[in-house]
Structure 1
Amino acid sequence: MDTRFLGIAELTEVPSVAVVVDVMRAFTVAAWAFARGAEKIVLAESLDAALELKGRHPDWVALKDGSPAPGFDAVNSPGMLRSTDLGGRTVVQKTTAGTVGALAVKEASLVLCAGFVVAEATAQCLRTRGCDGVTFVVTGEDGRADEDLACAQYIARRAADAATDAAEFLRRAGESRAAGELADGVRQGVHPDDVELCLELDRFPFAMVAALEDSLMVLRPHEVPSLTDAAPI
């Protein structure tokens, strides 16, 4: 499998297959939203767009980075979201990096959104679909976020070699700038368990596929058959 690891700004053409990685915290949060019963997640282009969607659909759950803000129901924290009942709900998500990266490749034939919590399911999805070329979009820090790059490299290796050990990749992520900022309270809207939850390998037995639906980029869980009994939720 031919792989490329690019930052959002380095995307000069539409890839055929894209894996958009945001470990801390957008796609860890997205996975938890699905685990808590969300039907789908609409990836918003801006905060105003998220609020406009919320205004048209008052029953949708609007979620953003940082501290709470008027009009938004939740913040981008897995520790906070894990106790929320989202059964059958639609979530609107806008974050600094993850949602931006997914929207940047919205024309790709296959878009997977990932973090460590869905790493194996994502790798298996790539294997079963026989993807020859994959572009991994490293969303954080202009493509230099080590937690995202480590996760992307791990998924790429798992897609090619099921024997790959995760320990070194998780260590890099745990020592990343983002992990330090979350642990030290530099970022807002943080739960004390956020870093630990973002580093929980293969917590969920599904991949997450994003696709255009009526002009909106919509993220949905994609069950991987051999993993459906892999991890309790």
Structure 2
Amino acid sequence: MDARFVGITDLVEAPSVAVVVDVMRAFTVAAWVFAQGAEKIVLAESLDDALALKAHHPDRLALKDGPPAPGFDLVNSPGLLRSADLDGRTVVQKTTAGTVGALAVKEVPLVLCAGFVVAEATARLLRTRRGDSVTFVVTGDDGRAEEDLACAQYIAARATDAGTEAAGFLRRAAESSAAADLTTGVRRGAHPDDVELCLELDRFPFAMVAALEDSLMVLRPCAVPSPAGDDSSL
């Protein structure tokens, strides 16, 4: 597998596969949204678009970064989502980096959104795409976010070598500036358990695939081949 690691602004050509990584916290949150029963996530271009998408379908729930705000039902925190009942719901998500990265590659044939919580499922899905060039989009801090780069590199390594150990990659993420910001309360709309939840390796058994549906970028959970039938040699 030919893997490239780029920031959002460094995307110059559409690859055949893109893996958009936002560990702290957009795609950790997305995984929790699905775990709490949501059917799909609509990725919004802006906060105004998120509210408009909700207004057209009042049964949708809108989610954003930062503290609670009028019109928004959920905040971008896995710790605050653990008790939410989202069974069968559609969530409209707008975040600072993760959703921006996914929308930047919306024309790519296969777009996966990932964090450590779905790392192995994502790697297993990539193993089914033999020979593809994969671009990992490091969304945070203009492509320099250490937690996102560590996760991207871990998934890429697992996709080619199922024996790759996670400890070093998780340590890099735990020592990142994003983790420090969450721990010290710099980021609003957070829960004390957010860092721990973002670093919970392979909490969920599904990957997450984003695709255009009626001009909207929609994220859905995706079942992947079982480890027993997995051939990791590429």
Give the 3-state SS of the residue equivalent to 1:79 in structure 2: helix
2:60 corresponding residue in structure 1 = 60
What is aligned with 2:112? 112
Over the matched positions of the two proteins, sequence identity in percent amounts to 80
Aligned to 1:231: none
Distance 2:75 2:119 in 1: 23
Equivalent position of 2:207 in the other structure: 207
- Letter matched to residue 192 of structure 1: P
2:4 is aligned with 1:4: yes
Structure 1 unaligned runs (5+)?
229-233
Alignment of 1:154-193 (within 5 A): 154-193=154-193
Contact kept, 8 Å, 2:38 with 2:86, in 1: the verdict is yes
* Match of residue 48 from structure 1: 48
Q: Which residue of 1 aligns with 2:232?
A: none
SS for the counterpart of 1:6 is strand
Indicate yes or no: 2:223 matched with 1:226: no
1:102 is aligned to 2:102: yes
Q: Equivalents in 1 of 2:97, 2:130: separation in Å?
A: 28
Distance 1:63 1:130 in 2: 35
| Cα distance in structure 1, aligned partners of 2:61 and 2:131 | 34
TM alignment of 1:116-155, pairs within 5 A: 116-155=116-155
Query: C-alpha displacement at 1:190, in angstroms?
Result: 0.4
Give the Cα separation in 2 of the matches to 1:46 and 1:180.
27
Following superposition, the deviation at residue 225 of structure 1 comes to 3.5
- Deviations 1:61-97 (CA, angstroms, capped at 9, x unpaired): 1000001100000100000011100000000000000
1:202-231 CA-partner distances (Å, limit 9, x unpaired): 000000000000000000000114169xxx
How far apart are 1:132 and its partner, in Å? 2.1
Q: Which residue of 2 aligns with 1:25?
A: 25
Contact 1:43 1:99 in 2 (8 A): yes
Q: 1:50 to 1:131 in 2, by over 3 A?
A: farther
Q: Is 1:8–1:139's contact at 8 Å kept on the other side of the alignment?
A: yes
Please say if residues 6 and 135 of structure 1, whose CA atoms lie closer than 8 Å, have aligned partners that are also in contact.
yes
**Inter-partner Cα distance in structure 1 for 2:227 and 2:164:** 17
Pick closer, same or farther for the CA change 1:226–1:218 going to 2, 3 Å.
same
Alpha-carbon offset, residue 131 of structure 1? 4.6
Describe the SS at the equivalent of 2:211.
strand
1:158 alignment partner, SS class: helix
SS state of the match for residue 88, structure 1?
Answer: coil
Give secondary structure in 2 for the equivalent of 1:224.
coil
Structure 2 distance, partners of 1:153, 1:122, is 12
Structure 2 counterpart of 1:10, which letter?
D
- Secondary structure in 1 aligned to 2:54? helix
TM-score (norm 2): 0.96
Give the TM-score, by structure 1 length: 0.96
Query: Is the 1:140–1:148 contact (alpha carbons within 8 Å) kept by the matching residues of 2?
Result: yes
The count of residues paired between Structure 1 and Structure 2 equals 228
Equivalent position SS for 1:5: strand
